Amino acid sequence: MMADPARLIGRALELANASLTLSSPNPRVGCVIADAHGRILGQGHTQQAGGPHAEIMALASARAAGANLLGATAYVTLEPCSHQGRTGPCCDALIDAGIKRVLASIADPNPLVSGRGLAKLRAAGVEVETGPGAVQSRELNLGFFSRMIRKRPWVRMKIAASLDGKTALDNGTSQWITSETARADGHAWRARSCALLTGIGTVLHDDPRLDVRLVATERQPQLVIVDSTLQTPPDAHVFVAPRALSIYVSAINDNKREALERRNVRIVCQPGERGQVDLQAMLHDLGAHEVNELHVEAGPRLNGALIQAGLVDEFLIYLAPQFIGQGRGMAHFGPIEELSAAPALEFVSTERLGPDLRLLARVQGHDEF
């Protein structure tokens, strides 16, 4: 029986999914090493930053099983790295192990790799093929591709609302519009992100923790607050979870900065128009600090500002089967004069979660980079 590449790259993609909440800021990669008959000799996925990559895990798995790797094929969901980063080059490890053939789903968009890994393998006499699983691998790593190519994170805005689009009652009460099932799912999306973004209005009004609590996670995403005049209280609940925290301001207030910096807060001044934070500059700064996926949970003003600036890539919306009537909306921006000026979206998925409905909608053209 000959090896079935579709089956083996499919298994590698399953392994890559196991890195979903683990590998940030590194890409989510899976690797399967098999013999000519398709028997799996070793397999693995990328570990936490600074830990082994998928190829190293797969090689170690095969060696632990006493497998002979000479002439084997490595099925990997992203081009093996060729440079010295937090860890050594995976290309060298595959070559040294006697791997005969590498099937990689897609080239690495990192300029430090970007074809060099495949070229290095070929130069060492390793057969190289690309393509199978490319769409799935890129989708799984859309944030990593965004950071490498656009120099900014993939921005996902999460909103929980009633069927008529209200996120809170007119008096501000919002707990809980959606069910516990939907809230746990929202925490799973938090867990896969590199950073959570909110605004000072949410911090002051709701005093949330904005961490991952309802699902298991190996790491807490960092928190980012848009706070033009540095009003974040040093005793706010956002400081409960141990994690990196950044605050973007439009002007430095030395009196308030000292107390927050004692909490190990990174304060970044990005002045924009009308005393507001320059949101585009903020995203590029987050990209420079290795944020792949930015998960937004904010109020209607910040939501509206991000949408109006064209900075949101997709929307994660939970709709509860109820009408609220007068209340607070999802996003405040505009008014726009023509329907054609509204952001054009396409539904990626819809799913029932308990009594609620989860919609994932992507801004058209935003994934074409």
Catalogue the active-site residues.
Answer: 55
Instruction: Give dist(CA 154, CA 341) in Å, integer.
Output: 22
Instruction: Give dist(CA 228, CA 126) in Å, integer.
Output: 54
Alpha helices (H) in the chain, listed in sequence order: 5-17, 54-64, 90-96, 116-123, 134-140, 142-149, 180-192, 200-206, 254-261, 279-288, 300-308
Element (H, E) at 127: strand 127-130
Instruction: Give dist(CA 54, CA 40) in Å, integer.
Output: 15
DSSP string, 326-357: SEEES------SSGGGSPPEEEEEEEEETTEE
Give the three-state DSSP class for 27: coil
Burial environment of residue 34 by CB neighbours within 10 A (0 to 12, 13 to 18, 19 or more) = buried
Asked whether the beta carbons of 159 and 318 are under 8 A apart, the reply is yes
Q: Which two tokens stand for residue 283?
A: 């995203």
Which amino acid, one-letter code, is at 16?
A
- Strands laid side by side in the 30-34 sheet: 40-45, 30-34, 73-76, 101-104, 127-130
Q: Which two tokens stand for residue 160?
A: 């929980």
Residue position matching structure tokens 């600036």: 309
- What beta strand segments (E) does 16-89 contain? 30-34, 40-45, 73-76
